[in-house]
Structure 1
Amino acid sequence: MNEHDFEAEGISATLDLTVGHIARLVIESGGRTLEPLHRAPWIDHADLPEGLPEGVVRLSGDFLCAPFSRSDVEPAPLHGWPANSAWDVVSDEAIPGGRRSSFRLQHKVMGAVVEKTLILRDGHPFLYQEHAFTGGSGAISVAHHPMTEMAEGGRLAFSPKRLAATPPDVTEPDPARGAHLLAYPARSSDLTRFPAADGGQTDLTDYSASRRHEDFVTLVEAVHGGMGWTAVARKAEADVVLVLKNPAELPVTMLWISNGGRCYAPWNSRHGVLGIEDGRAAVGHAASLGDNWLKQEGVETAFVLGGSVTFRQIVGALPLDGGDPPSQVEAKPGRLRLTFADGGHREVPFDETFLQIGQQVLK
């Protein structure tokens, strides 16, 4: 197996170098071992359908999409070469209070060199990620693709969002192959009252294990000047998974709700996963470069290549007693503070400078 392992005190990670996916993230916290990221149950099985993208064959953890979804400008598999092809280890070194590993994609994307830097810090329950594009031409849409297991469902909370919207195309339109819960296309400014396919409404902050469906919805960040965040309180796992971003870099959060709603291989109605896909993208490379609905809302959907483009993301987890996620997540000097509905607080070590909130972002 072509993998790269690295660790710091209380946390370890493994990158699958064949596709650039994070194969494992293991966090020691509160006397428990947490594994916030999902790994597909079919990995290393020999009986998969022919023609699957390598990124689906080895689907795990989190990975870079560039472009996000369809590669219909430059030929490449679904989610682009960063999610489907080999990465080389550039460096692996100790840093003050942690460890840093850097990798380079063997393919170029729109002529750009793509590099990935992963950082673990002693005592921090987070993986810090940076991706950099150097050179190239044209523009590229991007997204992270963290996935978390939802064995018995859970509850979600978010930094302020302006609206949620589904695309025109239904995820699984054929009842013989799968099912969907949401209406397509639809939108709502209230995440707890999103239009459903049956004419009613559903709560996007509630991931119910009893409803089998495959859905995709885009959340647009509101203007609030702070960190973008998603918190997933997982019931069976008794933890809270956190995905953090700079909204100026990644202005949308796309939820992939794969809750057993695909009955064909390799999914076989067994997934039970939530994707929390922070991005700068519409659905498909060509759509991201064109006059899409997000641009009409004033939202950037691609980075212009040619110089140096970087963006960052953080993913981690903490033990959680009780079923509700935090109502607020705030970066403090050296700490991340979680505030709960009952007024309670929790703080953990955190590099509040990493996301570079307030710094200029390249267009």
Structure 2
Amino acid sequence: MDTLTIGAKGISVSLDLAVGHIAAMEIEAGGRTLKPLHRAPWVGSPRETLPQNLPEGTVRLSGDFLCAPFSTSDVEAAPLHGWPANSEWDVVENSAIAGVRRAVLRLRRKVMGATVDKVLTLRDNHPFLYQEHIFSGGSGAISVAHHPMTAMQDGGRLAFSPKRVAVTSASPLEPDPARGRFRLAYPARATDLTQFPLAAGGTADLTDYRMEDKREDFITLVEADHGGPGWTAIARRAEQDLVLVLKNPAELPITMLWFSNGGRDYAPWSGRHLGVLGIEDGCAAVGHAASLGDNWLKHEGIATAFALAQGRSFSFRHVIGAVPFTQAEPPSGLETVPDRLRILASNGATREVPFDGEFLRIGRSVPA
């Protein structure tokens, strides 16, 4: 596998250059090595053992990657989640200056005529990967999303920045019981994340990831207006860590959760994709055409694509990290200050970790 590995004090990240997926992320903290990101169990298997029609991004499914568009490429021909998730990236820059490691990569293909750059930044003693994606030129409009995935051996508890509503689509990912299963009701919506309707009746607590619930479920959370960063925190029980994903809601106004826990019986999933949670922050509906057309998110006042134009560029930023964490309950809140992230525990205690509080441009960026 052709990879680029970059490191700073206490953290390293490897990128699979064939598809732009983060193949590995390791954080040294408290005498431990934290590995917050997931890699599919079939990655590295001989290609002939996998279904021939699999997109390359599924063959090498790892860590986090850029989706552009998110889901179906039904405006410009491309595999699932677009060329950024399925084709080669070139290293443009790889530099280290004063405790900061920075790599710039460029997608070999164009997306709707646009050049796409990926900027990865690590800082000494910061347990975070800082990412920026930049689209330059092109025409039309493009939906985008990050696709970080974490995995839990024994489940965990989730917490979020304030959300306005949680919504499932008209149909589940796996409606055919011969191929898979789901638990949530489709379509459905709720404002209380701890009481989302189930297909079988009753409600489920979306903040409780339970290993006994075998299912494939997909749900969209719309950010509330709160003026701070959007965030997801996953307190992984067996791993005894806290996985953190942060965004600017002005750029990526929704968080799509993919609960993948043994809910697909066909290859390559084959019931072995277990304990996985995708935390997919985006500006998108499901599918490129849906993102450009009329959709329920637009009715909620939420943008679902960025405009492209010659001589013009736009960018969005995203942060993934992890810290040791032994509490059963996830934090009640996160606060950013210029050089720290403050983690607020449910018992009132606070903890601070090094963080670039200016990176997400909260209150400063304007989406295209």
If the length of structure 1 is used for normalisation, what is the TM-score?
Answer: 0.99
Distance 1:254 1:73 in 2: 21
Q: Which residue of 1 aligns with 2:135?
A: 133
Give the drift of 1:322: 1.8
Q: Which residue of 1 aligns with 2:18?
A: 18
> SS in structure 2 opposite 1:136?
strand
Contact 1:192–1:205 (Cα < 8 Å) also in 2: yes
Greater displacement, 80-89 / 167-176 = 167-176
- Structure 2 letter corresponding to 1:31: G
Give the drift of 1:209: 0.6
Distance 1:33 1:245 in 2: 24
> SS in structure 1 opposite 2:139?
coil
- Structure 2 letter corresponding to 1:287: A
Q: Which residue of 2 aligns with 1:280?
A: 283
Contact 2:250–2:367 (Cα < 8 Å) also in 1: no
Distance 1:350 1:175 in 2: 45
1:192-341 matches, within 5 Å, as 192-272=194-274, 273-306=276-309, 307-341=312-346
1:46-65 matches, within 5 Å, as 46=46, 47-65=49-67
Contact 1:26–1:34 (Cα < 8 Å) also in 2: yes
Give the drift of 1:356: 0.4
Identity %: 67
Give every structure 1 segment of 4 or more consecutive aligned residues whose post-TM-superposition deviation is greater than 3 Å.
none
Unpaired runs of 5+ residues, structure 2, are none
> SS in structure 2 opposite 1:51?
coil
Distance 1:91 1:345 in 2: 38
1:65-76 matches, within 5 Å, as 65-76=67-78
Distance 1:53 1:95 in 2: 37
Distance 2:104 2:98 in 1: 16
Unpaired runs of 5+ residues, structure 1, are none
Distance 2:284 2:123 in 1: 30
Q: Which residue of 1 aligns with 2:351?
A: 346
- Structure 2 letter corresponding to 1:359: R
Aligned length: 363
**What CA deviation, in whole Å up to 9, does each residue of 1:279-307 have, x standing for no partner?**
00000000000110000000000000111
Q: Which residue of 2 aligns with 1:35?
A: 35
Distance 2:349 2:365 in 1: 34
Q: Which residue of 1 aligns with 2:3?
A: 3
1:92 aligned onto 2:97: no
Distance 1:332 1:113 in 2: 33
Contact 2:251–2:365 (Cα < 8 Å) also in 1: no
> SS in structure 2 opposite 1:305?
strand
- Structure 2 letter corresponding to 1:9: K
Distance 1:7 1:88 in 2: 18
Give the drift of 1:176: 1.3
1:357 aligned onto 2:362: yes
Contact 1:183–1:195 (Cα < 8 Å) also in 2: yes
If the length of structure 2 is used for normalisation, what is the TM-score?
Answer: 0.98
Contact 2:115–2:135 (Cα < 8 Å) also in 1: yes
Contact 1:9–1:98 (Cα < 8 Å) also in 2: no
Contact 2:297–2:304 (Cα < 8 Å) also in 1: yes
Q: Which residue of 2 aligns with 1:104?
A: 106
Distance 2:294 2:17 in 1: 35
Contact 1:130–1:311 (Cα < 8 Å) also in 2: yes
Q: Which residue of 2 aligns with 1:148?
A: 150
- Provide the alpha-carbon RMSD of the alignment: 0.7
- Structure 1 letter corresponding to 2:25: L
**What CA deviation, in whole Å up to 9, does each residue of 1:289-336 have, x standing for no partner?**
011000000000000011111000000000001211111011012000
Distance 2:34 2:234 in 1: 14
